[in-house]
Structure 1
Amino acid sequence: MSDSFKIVNLGLPKTGTTTLTRALRRAAIATADWKIHRRQSDDESLIGQHLGTILYQDYFQSGDPLARLSKFRAFNELSHAGLKHSLWPQSDWALLEAIEKHHPETRFMLNTRNPARAASSIMRWGNMGTLRLPNTNVPGLPKGYGHEEAQLARWIAGHYAFIRRVFAGHDRFLEFDIADEAAPQKIGAFIGTKLPWWGRANARPAAVPEATPDLQPELTET
């Protein structure tokens, strides 16, 4: 097995993706997260582009969603939730299968977070829950839905179920709960690299806890 295999995370916004990106970068793993900044690439065609946009451009151009992203080893926060349109590569099996076809050793991860807490965080994150998600078509969340926390929580749980189903029995797939104290050890063992940092990134003040018995401790959010 090569030690340069690609790492693709399939999590949703506000479920701990920023924490994961910081942890991977602190481990010296070149990680693309949401958008490519000038300091990250010399390729002018990538600068300022959302990761999801690049993945779809290259998928339809060459079949390989990572064709122009060879500099990066890990890919996180794939989605782009805009005001007029949304891109959600982590919900597109054809695109994910194309990544695996062109990069057979790719390791896929799914970071999860209690859906109710994640939904609450989305509603408190700018206009994501009030404008961007309810007014665009998102896989599992059609236009007109997502303006209530309960709807967002159902969508988040549905995404987890989708990923679990399509990666059932896959020997290069790891699901982890961002609130699990053992998460960094599990990730490190999975990718063969110890994570020197794990903490809380891109956090917002916590809302009053919902009266739900299975809510887990809020260690991080993104």
Structure 2
Amino acid sequence: MWLNAKSTSSASSCRFAHRRFLQLFVGLVFVVVASWIAPFRTVTDEASADARNRKNESSSVRKWGQGVVSDGNDKGRCEMKADQRETLRLVDQLRSEQRTLPSPIINLGMPKMGSSSLHEFFKCSGTYNSSHYTCGPRPRGEGKRGPGLRCGTCMERAWKKGLPLLKSCGGASNEFKNGYTAFMQMDYNTPGKTCFYPQMSALNAIHKEYPNATFVLISRPLDDWIRSLDDWHGYRNRLVNCNLPGLPVGVGHDNDDLKQWVCHHQANVRKFVQAHPSHALVELNLYETTQNDRIMSQLFLNEGHSATSNDEANTDGAGCFGHANKNHKKKKNVTREESAT
């Protein structure tokens, strides 16, 4: 009987050990499988989160408030027009004080919105050293050809290193008095290389470097702007394939997305200047050539016009503001306004 009890006890111990072994084995298998699938789960979660973020960013393009007029759908209708109340107040003030706005003068507008016209004005004036599209540690001599960095490339490199953007790319300073005093196109976008818009990404850095810089913002009818983008070396596709503030990769095929993006930028610039009143903001409508010439001449050249409201012929602007950089590739039904930049 004692032997029988001993046998029974041994059998129970064996069964317990067997169950315990199975539990440990199953637990070990679970741990191994869980650790194996964890990276895939993380990737999936990240992909889902990224997709959600892109969706939110894309929809945010349509939700930018200022400058958008609701027309009953979720995208709204963007009407871009210069707010010239402050600009005209500056004209009156500077005319009475016989002074000009401080440099550097920085164009914060978008590509294909008058940067060439601004550059030609400052070149024509003979007073400013204007950079357009290309910069570098030293500005190239007038009329000379040679290597030069795109402003966006040069400024992005400086920005990543924590260096002053404009002074690192040829801007005037105490050490470099012959540097640029006007920057008319800072942005550059070549997907895979540089997609950098300092007027969007680096306004705080520009303010820190030049807290009294004068900003210029030109408005253009947006249908004309879109048409100009499409006709200029695949510019729309370059925007679509860049990851820009408010315009993530893949967004921009829809005209309304681009319009909302530009209107948001215009509103952002105005808010920035309101928050940093040491800057003057000059707003212009691209096609108002005569008025633009008067305004620019008074603000930057101290050449006020003496015309009265009844004497439109007697205008004494410098005559330097006009359309430039026309797109001659488009052969049919091209108007001067449609092809201007």
Whether 2:150 is the aligned partner of 1:53: answer no
CA contact (8 A) 2:240 2:250 kept: yes
* Equivalent residue number for residue 321 of structure 2: 198
Q: How far apart are 1:88 and its partner, in Å?
A: 0.5
Whether 2:180 is the aligned partner of 1:72: answer yes
Q: How far apart are 1:57 and its partner, in Å?
A: 2.6
Q: Summarize deviations over 1:99-142 as a string: whole Å, max 9, x none.
A: 3333233111111111222112111212111x211111122211
CA distance, structure 2, for counterparts of residue 25 and residue 132 of structure 1: 29
CA distance, structure 2, for counterparts of residue 16 and residue 196 of structure 1: 16
Q: Identity, % of aligned pairs?
A: 23
Whether 2:277 is the aligned partner of 1:177: answer no
TM-score (norm 1): 0.80
Q: How far apart are 1:53 and its partner, in Å?
A: 2.0
- Give the counterpart letter for 1:199 in structure 2: G
Q: Would you say how many aligned residue pairs link Structure 1 and Structure 2?
A: 209
* Equivalent residue number for residue 147 of structure 1: 253
Question: Structure 2 matches for 1:32-111, cutoff 5 A?
Answer: 32-36=131-135, 40-41=139-140, 47-68=147-168, 69=170, 70=172, 71-84=179-192, 85-92=194-201, 95-111=202-218
CA distance, structure 1, for counterparts of residue 149 and residue 155 of structure 2: 10
The one of the two structures with greater contact order (alpha-carbon pairs below 8 A, sep at least 6) is 1
Unaligned runs of 5+ in 1: 210-216
TM-score (norm 2): 0.54
CA distance, structure 2, for counterparts of residue 183 and residue 21 of structure 1: 13
Unaligned runs of 5+ in 2: 1-98, 173-178, 304-317
* Equivalent residue number for residue 13 of structure 1: 111
- Give the counterpart letter for 2:323 in structure 1: R
CA distance, structure 2, for counterparts of residue 83 and residue 161 of structure 1: 26
- Give the counterpart letter for 2:270 in structure 1: R
Query: Which segment is superposed worse, 68-77 or 148-157?
Result: 148-157
Change (3 A) 1:3 1:160: closer
CA distance, structure 2, for counterparts of residue 141 and residue 177 of structure 1: 24
Change (3 A) 1:148 1:62: closer
CA distance, structure 1, for counterparts of residue 118 and residue 296 of structure 2: 10
* Equivalent residue number for residue 39 of structure 2: none
The alignment partner of 1:176 has SS state of strand
The equivalent position to 1:136 in structure 2, one of 221, 242, 247, is: 242
The equivalent position to 1:164 in structure 2, one of 260, 267, 270, is: 270
The alignment partner of 2:283 has SS state of strand
CA distance, structure 2, for counterparts of residue 175 and residue 166 of structure 1: 14
